[in-house]
Chains A and B, each alone.
Chain A
Amino acid sequence: MSSTTDIDLVPAIATRREDALTGLGKMVSQGLGWARKYSLFQYPFVTACCGMEFMAVASARYDLDRFGAALPRFSPRQADLLMVVGTINVKQAPILKRVYDSMADPKWVVAFGVCASSGGFYDNYATVQGIDRIIPVDVYIPGCPPRPEQVLDGIMLLQQKIQDQSHKLIDREKPALPAKG
């Protein structure tokens, strides 16, 4: 696993803003990233059969708790990982958008299964062809449904991504609020 530690030390994408951070800021950012990646409170937006696989991966045999992502919060206001599990149709799209907008920053999104990622084989009039047409997505997990190992791999990818992002102790930037509606 030596290659993983190399990636740990060198961020995959070094933005200008990251370069401008002081050494202390970097340490704080890494610490916050470490804390955040191991305390993912998830909101399962379960609409279809992938939910069975989600239950499998969340319960004892595969156990998402090992990755610190065990506690589903059934309010988006308490969650920071939105798991979109299943087919999203056009009628449901505004609900998903509202759930995403209700979540507090920082927040991440996982498209669980091929329907959430791209519409899957529902290539028809009713289905949104991938939730990235509505909300930004961090990790796509393919599969119909994905095997639990794939989900665990996706969670690990997301943790890597969170670790590599820049975090601030106090973010003075005003968050972008959704349009009133």
Chain B
Amino acid sequence: MSQAAIQRLQERFPAAVTGAGVSRGGDDVALVKREAIGEVCRFLREDPELVFDMAPYITAVDYQASEPRFELIYQMYSTKKNHRIRLRVGVPESDPVVDTVTGIWKGADWYERYCWDMYGIRFAGHPDPRRLYMYEEFVGHPLRKDYSLRGRQPLMPERPVDERFRGPGPTGG
């Protein structure tokens, strides 16, 4: 079913889709160039035969020794056509920037923030490029393979709280 989607994608973007195959779990996978991910996703979303209207998961992998070092994985699903594909996008360590897809799927917002938080892959054009899980003062990206095993960082003081949320307190404000 989604083999047809892969074929259609290859016909439409012969230069951007560098390979295709079937994953170990049976999902159809397309390898996509990093520069083209924006227009490829736009096409997958809007093409009347594909209608991938949902991106259930976006994550990353760190293949420390190989080049490109990182790989973004976009899992896609169509609720209209009931088919799914997976895109794999290589991201080099020297320039870990990818175009955002939050304009195509709003739900990609937190997944991209997660990839920035844990792997240090930046998303150009993201509306809210903060960390997702860790706090702002945290240094580094903990799911990178070269982050030290325990890698503890100092405890943080409390952030200032808006006075709307609490009273003056025992110290008088």
Residues of A at under 8 Å CB distance from B? Answer: 90-91, 93-95, 97-98, 123-126, 128-129, 133-134, 177-178, 180-181
Q: Which of B156, B158, B159 is the one whose CB lies under 8 Å from A90?
A: B156
Q: Are A90 and B153 in contact (CB under 8 A)?
A: yes
Please tell me if the beta carbons of A124 and B135 are within 8 angstroms of each other in the complex: no
Q: How many residues of B contact A (CB 8 A)?
A: 18
- Decide if B48 is an interface residue (CB 8 Å cutoff): no
Note all chain A residues with C-beta closer than 8 A to B157: 94, 181
CA of A123 to CA of B151, assembled, Å: 10
- Complex Cα spacing A90 to B156, Å: 7
| A126-B142 in contact (CB<8A) | yes
The residue of chain B having its C-beta at the shortest distance from the C-beta of A93 within the complex is B155
Task: Give the chain B neighbours of A129 by CB distance below 8 A.
Answer: 152
Query: B residues bordering A, Cβ < 8 Å?
Result: 133-135, 142, 147, 150-153, 155-160, 169-171
By a CB distance below 8 angstroms, the chain A residues around B150 are: 123-125
Considering the complex, give the chain A residue whose CB is closest to the CB of B151: A125
B interface secondary structure, majority: loop
Q: Residues of B contacting A125 with CB < 8 Å?
A: 142, 147, 150-153
- Bound form: Cα–Cα A124–B160 in Å: 27
For the A-B complex with A98-B158, A125-B153, A129-B152 known, give 5 more contacts whose Cβ atoms are closer than 8 Å. Answer: A124-B150, A125-B142, A126-B133, A177-B170, A181-B157
Chain B residues lying within 8 Å of A91, measured Cβ to Cβ, are: 133-135, 156
| Bound: A91/B157 CA distance, A | 10
- Min CB–CB distance B146 → chain A (angstroms): 13
Q: How far is the CA of A134 from the CA of B158 in the complex (A)?
A: 12
7 A/B residue pairs, CB under 8 Å, sorted by A: A94-B158, A98-B158, A123-B150, A124-B142, A126-B134, A178-B171, A181-B158
Contact A90–B142 (Cβ < 8 Å): no
Chain A contacts for B152, CB-based, 8 A? 125, 129
A97–B169 alpha-carbon span in the complex (Å): 15
Q: Which residues of A contact B151 (CB under 8 A)?
A: 124-125
Report the minimal beta-carbon distance from A102 to chain B, rounded to whole angstroms. Answer: 9
Supposing A125-B152, A126-B134, A177-B171 touch, asked if A94 and B147 sit within 8 A by C-beta, the answer is no
